[in-house]
Amino acid sequence: MEPEIEDYLRPLYFNVETAHQLARELCGAFQQLAAESPVQFLATPVSESILRPPKGSEKGSGGTNLRVGFVELLGKEDSTSQPKLDLQNGSGHPVRLRRHLEKSWPIFDHLKNEHPDELFSWIGKCIAEIVADGCQSFGLPRDVTLPLGVTFSFPMVQHTLSQAELMSMGKGFAITSKADLGSHLLKGYETWRESATELPPIRIAAIANDAVSTLVSFVYQSQENQSRKAAMGLICGTGSNATIPLRQSMLHPSKLPKVEVLNGHNPDDQRIAVNTEWSINGTAPALRALGLISKWDEQLDAAGEVPGFQPLEYMTAGRYLGELGRLILLDYLENYRGFSKEALPAKLQQRFGLTTTFLSHFKPPHPSVLLEKLKAEFPVTDTNSAFAWTEDTAIKVYKIAKAIEVRAAGIVAAATVGLLACAGDIPLRDSPKHDKTEQQHHSKTNGSSAASTDLVVGYTGGCIAHFQDYLADCQSFLDDILRKEFGPEPPFRVTLSPCHDGGITGAGVLCGAAQAQYELTKV
C-alpha cells in the first residue's frame, strides 16, 4: 500500500506474529471461560459417543426450524450404494444423508420485534406446512408422533438434549432470556395443528445451537481415520461462533448437563460438544492485551444494541464488517482528506449504508470498474459538491476492505488455533494455563497423536466464504501460526473444510440419534 493509506490503516495491521500471540492469549482465555463463565462455553448434552457413533448405527429422519425439511440418515450399508458424491465438496465420499421437502423462509424484522408468541406461531406454521407435505409424500400416519430436531442460532442453556432455555438473543430479536424453546415451538405448531387435525403431533427430540449442529453434521459426514479428525465446527456468517468437544472436567460443574450417550458408553469419560459463544465479551481482554481494538471498533461497538457484548463478532462477522468499513471510510474522507460531512453522499452517512455484501465483492479487476460501482452505490447528487469519487479513492476503499478482511481472517485463525489448543488437540508450548495432561488424554482417547492427525475444521457462513479473500487468508494464517509455533515443517495441519447446511443436517443427525436412544428406552 502507498504510505498515505498504509499509515492511516495501521491500527488494523495484523501479521503472523500477532496471530501467534493472540492464539496463545485466547487459549488461556478459553480455558478460563470454560471453567468460570456462565454465558460462554455452554455445554450441550451431546457426547462423543453420539458425535462419533459406530459407523452404520444411525438411521432415521428429522427436521429443523427456520429452514424446515425432512432429513433421512443413511446407514453404512445404504450409504455405500449411493452415488459417490460428497455433499460438502464433491470429493467422492459416499453420501450419508438425504434432505427432502426442504423449504426456507426469511425472518423479517417485524417477526424479530414482535412478541415471542408471534415469532413461534410463524415458525409453527412453517413446520406444519412441511409436515403436511411429508404426510402427503411419504404417507405418514396421523396418529404417530414425529420426532423434531431443532437448530437455533442463539446462546442457550441445556440440561438435556431435548430441552433448552434461551439466553439473551441480541441481533435485533425481542426475546428475553429464560424462554423455554421447546415449549414455544410445540405451542406454535399446535396453534396450526388445531385447524388441520390431519397433521400428526410432534415431539422435540433434540435441540442444538447452530455451531453445535455444524459440528455434528461435519463429524457425521466426514471420512475420519487415524490421520484425519473432524475436530471443530466454525460459523462465520452474519455472526461468528465455534463448537468443539471438551472434557467435562474442564467445565464449571454448574454448566454440566445430563449427558446423552449411546448404549454401552460410560458418560463419565465422555467429551461433550461445547458451544463456545467465543464472540461474547470474555474474549475482549485478549484482544485488548495486543492492542487490536481500534477507535473504529469502539465506535461500532458503542452504536450497537448492547455495547461491549460481542467485540470479536464486530471484528470478524458479516453483520458488522460493512459498517466497520463505512466508519473507517467516513473518518478517512472527513478527517484525513478534509471533506465536510455535508459534501459526502447521503447513503454513506447512514448506519449500515455500506453493506458487507457490497464490500465483499469490491475488488479489482480495474480501478475504473471500482469507480463505477461506487458511483452507482453512493451517488453524489449535489452537482456543486466539493466531493467526487475518483479512481484513486476507489482503490483506497478496496484497501480498507482488504485490511478489514485480513485482520478478521487472522483473528479467526488465531481463535481456531487457541480453541484447538484449549481442547488439547494442539500442544502449544508453554501456552497460558495449558493442561499438560490434556494432550496425552486426547491422544489416548482419540487413538492417534497430533503428529499423525490432520485436524479438520468444518466451516460455514457467507462471510468467510465470500468476503474478499477471507477463506484463503484464514487458511494461510492457520498454516503460518503452526509454522511459527513448531518450525518450518509442523508435525500436523489445521485444515478448513466446507460444511454448509449444517444447521438442518446437524439437527437431523441429532434427531436420529436421540430417536434411536428413545426407542431403546421404550423396549
pLDDT at 383 over 90: no
Contacts of 384 (CB under 8 A, 6+ apart): none
| CB distance 293 to 230 below 8 Å | no
Lowest mean pLDDT of 131-140, 255-264, 449-458, name the range.
Answer: 255-264
pLDDT at 198: 82
pLDDT at 91 over 50: no
pLDDT at 57: 41
Q: What distance in Å separates the CA atoms of residue 393 and residue 466, rounded to the nearest whole number? A: 23
| CB distance 73 to 298 below 8 Å | no
Mean pLDDT, residues 302-323 taken together = 93
Which one, of 424, 416, 509, lies nearest residue 212 by Cα? 509
Please tell me whether residue 428 adopts helix, strand or coil conformation: coil
What is the chain's length?
523
- pLDDT tens digits for range 356-376: 999 999 998 899 999 999 999
Question: Domains in the chain, start-ordered, CATH in brackets?
Answer: 42-227+243-253+274-278+501-515 (3.30.420.40)
| CB distance 198 to 135 below 8 Å | yes
Q: What distance in Å separates the CA atoms of residue 374 and residue 337, rounded to the nearest whole number? A: 18
Q: What distance in Å separates the CA atoms of residue 471 and residue 150, rounded to the nearest whole number? A: 28
Contacts of 498 (CB under 8 A, 6+ apart): 88, 89, 458, 459, 460, 465
| CB distance 286 to 21 below 8 Å | no
pLDDT at 160: 85
C-alpha cell at 413: 485463525
Which one, of 459, 480, 455, 481, lies nearest residue 470 by Cα? 459
Q: Which residue has the higher pLDDT, 73 or 402?
A: 402
Mean pLDDT, residues 421-434 taken together = 78
Mean pLDDT, residues 508-513 taken together = 82
Q: What distance in Å separates the CA atoms of residue 177 and residue 376, rounded to the nearest whole number? A: 42
pLDDT at 18 over 50: yes
424-429 LR contacts (CB < 8 Å, sep 24+): 425/229, 425/231, 425/450, 425/453, 425/455, 426/450, 426/455, 426/482, 426/492, 426/494, 428/23, 428/24, 428/27, 428/485, 429/485
- State percent of the chain over pLDDT 90: 50
- pLDDT tens digits for range 393-408: 999 999 999 999 999 9
pLDDT at 190 over 50: yes
Q: What distance in Å separates the CA atoms of residue 91 and residue 89, rounded to the nearest whole number? A: 5
pLDDT at 267: 56
pLDDT at 519 over 70: no
- State percent of the chain over pLDDT 70: 81
Mean pLDDT, residues 60-88 taken together = 56
C-alpha cell at 130: 412441511
| CB distance 210 to 153 below 8 Å | yes
| CB distance 89 to 498 below 8 Å | yes
pLDDT at 206 over 60: yes
Mean pLDDT, residues 8-28 taken together = 97
Q: What distance in Å separates the CA atoms of residue 403 and residue 14, rounded to the nearest whole number? A: 8
Please tell me whether residue 244 adopts helix, strand or coil conformation: strand
End-to-end CA distance of the chain: 69
- Count of CB atoms situated within 10 Å of the CB of 113: 12
Mean pLDDT, residues 449-476 taken together = 88
pLDDT at 173 over 70: no
Q: What distance in Å separates the CA atoms of residue 62 and residue 512, rounded to the nearest whole number? A: 6
C-alpha cell at 503: 444447521
Contacts of 481 (CB under 8 A, 6+ apart): 16, 19, 20, 23, 413, 414, 417
> For 194-317, where are the alpha helices, taking DSSP H only?
210-221, 284-289, 295-302, 311-316
- Count of CB atoms situated within 10 Å of the CB of 44: 29
C-alpha cell at 459: 466451516
